[in-house]
Amino acid sequence: MHLASQCRSCLVAALLFARGMGAEVGVTRLQQVSDEISTLQAVVDKLPEGRERKKLEERRALLERERNLLLRRESLESKEQAIGRRQIDNPAGRLQALIRTRDAHAQPLQTRLDNLNGRLHEAAVRRDSLSTARQKLAASRPGIERDTRLAGLDEQLLTAGEEIDALQLQREAVGFGMALASELESMAQRLHDEPASPPLNVRRWWERRQELRERVARLAQAEESAAAVNDRRDAEYEVLRLAKEKLAGIDEEIALLAPQTGFFRSTPGFDRLLAAANREKAALAARIPFLEAQHAALEEAASVATQTVDTLRTADEWLALRQQHFARRLAYWLAWPATAVMGVLTLFAASSRWALPRLYGREMLVSARRVNRYLASAVLAAVLAGFFFEDLRVLATTLGIVSAALVIALQDVFASLAGWFAIIVGGKIRVGDRVEIDGVKGDVLEIQLFRTTVNEIDGGLHLDHPTGRIVGIPNSFIFRTRVHNATHWHRWVWLRTDITVTFETPLAEATAVIRRALEETSAEDFIAARREAAGMEQRYGCPDAVYEPKLHWVIADSGVTFTLVTIADYRSKSAMLDRLHSRILADFARDSRLQFAYPTHRALLAREHAVPTSPSMTAQTAAEPPGPTRLSAWPGSAN
């Protein structure tokens, strides 16, 4: 117990000493609590187990809780101070601090302006009445009294003018204040409405850039206005100073003239000088308050103009900082469409240069590259539209309305465009195909967006040969007319030719010779046609024809007509007919019994109509059978 009481007394002494030192040095509460905790810990370590030690430990726990709370509060205060410093350094924080002064200035300005307008009207009325009185007095009879009164009215008019100038300057200062309040209100609304992360698009960036340029020009104008107001303030200060110096000089003059005037020292000249000095002093004393009011108004206007410049500069700094952040985000955002565009262009170049030449032949390569270019353009348009249009639904609605009007006005153009799409997607017509479109027969040279270009074949020549004319056909033909394609899925076309022999020609031998010539001439073409016709059967599920040469005959007027049916490459129809006809002519020439039939005419004259000219002619005529004249059409007949 003795040790515990001794320790308790030591503890009390230590605590009092720590608090006394803290009070003398001026330490914080946190330092005091920390010192008390250290003292309690030293005392508790010396105490034995018991109730006293337990109480001291509870006391130490409370002090530790208090120290923790103080440390937390100190940390929060440090954070608040750091935030305050950042706000001071941040243009947005400075702008908000300026905006908080708006309520203190904006509300009384309108009332003050109304009051100034009323006072200005009253001052103008007083000046007009003084001017009217002066005009009347000037029209009266001249005299010393009139001159004195005129001088007094002139001084009063000057004073009224100074009063009006003071009121106008005060109104101008109020106007500066209202403009500043309006700017602060506008910036407060801008701060409130400005989103933390505005939508990214180039249009917004351009509008912000233009706004910054306009605000820079506005800031320069405000700085010039502030400089002009400061110059006017300095000039007005000089005027006020000179007026006060003049008033002091007039006081000295009056002090010098006053002893030299009076009842016993009355001098007319000095009396007039003293009276004039007193009038000038009274007028100047009346004007000086208005000069002081003018200077005060200019001081206020200069202060407001300086605040306006600071506000505009701070707002411009904030907007420039926002523009920098927006431009940085826009640059990151534009990296994606730029990468997509580069990827599309790279794929387009690679496909056009390496892939398409391996997949398509020379005739289809031009069309394939054109379609590849159209596809790349469409993908690029989709990518750019997705990135640079904020609301595609509005764009789709607008395009829908515009497209409807364009389709009605340019229906032929859009029909050709739709025809191009049908041709490309359907694949029924390709570059190099032999087609017949609306009576025009030729080879397809290219398929563009709006027209198909054809190299005309035949065209009145009656030969399988180009005419030298290039025909452009609108792509809308795919919906309006029939299209004949001689090269769809294979290159073979059927040919027909007729050969007529005389009735005297042996039918069996003629048939054998013609069949052999037909089969041997077209054997290789039929083999190739059967091989290529498999694609047609695979595409449509059934064969288009039986690829065998065909021979038919029929009794005609001039003899027996053989019909030969064979095939040929669509570019070699004339060559095939030339080979076939040459072979048949050669075979018929080796056998005299095989005769071609051709139209002939025979004339028979009656005996009584003959005109003998010589004995030989008479004998020849007598050998003719009697009867009327008749015509015979027996081709190949010996008679």
CATH classification of the domain holding 480: 2.30.30.60
Are 189 and 260 members of one domain? yes
- Pairwise CA distance, residues 378 & 370, whole Å: 12
* Domain's final residue, options 485, 500, 519: 485
What are 196-213's pLDDT values in tens digits?
A: 788 877 788 888 899 999
In terms of domains, do 246 and 318 share one? yes
**Taking residues 253-268, what's their average pLDDT?**
63
Do residues 248 and 296 both lie within one domain?
Answer: yes
For residue 259, the 8-state DSSP code is G
Confidence of residue 49 (pLDDT cuts 50, 70, 90): confident
For residue 211, being part of any structural domain is answered with: yes
Q: For residue 128, is it within any domain?
A: yes
For the cut 50, the answer to whether the pLDDT of residue 420 exceeds it is: yes
Q: What are phi and psi of 633, to 5 degrees?
A: -125, 70
Average pLDDT of the segment spanning 245-260: 77
Tally of domains within the chain: 5
Is the pLDDT at 512 greater than 50? The verdict is yes
Say whether pLDDT at 632 is over 50: no
594, part of any domain: no
> Would you state the structure tokens that stand for residue 114, as one six-digit string?
């109304």
Q: Which two tokens stand for residue 190?
A: 């801008």
Higher pLDDT, 90 or 504: 504
Residues 234 and 250 in one domain: yes
Based on the domain organization, do 475 and 509 belong to the same domain? Answer: no
Integer-rounded Cα Rg, in Å, for the chain is 60
In angstroms, rounded to a whole number, what is the distance separating the alpha carbons of residues 518 and 531?
20
Residues in a beta bridge with 568:
493
In a shared domain, residues 281 and 191: yes
Q: What is the mean pLDDT of the chain?
A: 79
CATH code of residue 524: 3.30.70.100
- Asked whether residue 90 is assigned to any structural domain, the reply reads no
Task: Tell me the Ramachandran region of residue 458: left when phi exceeds 0, alpha when psi lies from -120 to 50, beta otherwise.
Answer: left
Nearest to residue 315, comparing CAs of 92, 103, 101? 92
Residue 481 in domain: yes
pLDDT one-digit tens code per residue, 427-456: 888 888 899 998 899 999 888 888 899 999
Instruction: Please give the residue range of the domain that contains residue 612.
Output: 602-632
172 and 286 belong to one structural domain: yes
Q: Which two tokens stand for residue 488?
A: 């769809």
Pick left, alpha or beta for residue 35 (phi over 0 → left; psi -120 to 50 → alpha; otherwise beta). Answer: alpha
Question: Which 3-state string (H, E, C) describes 408-434?
Answer: HHCHHHHHHHHHHHHHHHHCCCCCCCE
Q: Encode 38-60: b = buried (16+ Cβ within 10 Å), e = exposed.
A: ebbeebbeebeeeebbeebeebb
> Domain check: are 443 and 500 in the same one?
no
How far out from the chain centre does Cα 377 lie? 17
Same domain (yes/no): 219, 278: yes
Chain centroid to CA 607: how far?
105
Burial of residue 294 (number of CB atoms within 10 Å: 0-12, 13-18, 19+): buried
Q: Please tell me the distance from the alpha carbon of residue 505 to that of residue 487, in angstroms, as a whole number.
A: 40
Predicted pLDDT of residue 407: 67
Q: Identify the domain boundary among 84, 107, 126.
A: 84
Average pLDDT over residues 484-494: 85
**Helix 51-89 and helix 91-99, axial crossing angle in degrees, nearest 10:** 90
Do 206 and 306 belong to one domain?
yes
Instruction: Report, as an integer, the average pLDDT of 613-633.
Output: 39
Q: What angle do CA 480, 484, 488 make, to 5 degrees?
A: 120
Q: Do the domain assignments include residue 348?
A: no
pLDDT of residue 554: 93
In a domain, 289, yes or no: yes
> How far is Cα 64 from Cα 43, in angstroms, rounded to an integer?
16
Where residue 109 falls among pLDDT bands split at 50, 70, 90?
A: confident
Domain boundary among 53, 84, 115: 84
**CA-CA-CA-CA torsion sign (515, 516, 522, 524):** positive
Regarding whether 227 and 114 lie in a shared domain, the answer is: yes
Assign 194 to helix, strand or coil: coil
Q: pLDDT tens digits, residue range 166-178?
A: 888 888 888 888 8
Query: Same domain for 333 and 261?
Result: yes
Residue 351 covered by a domain: no
Looking at residue 455, its pLDDT comes to 92
Q: How far is CA 121 from the centre of its chain?
A: 55
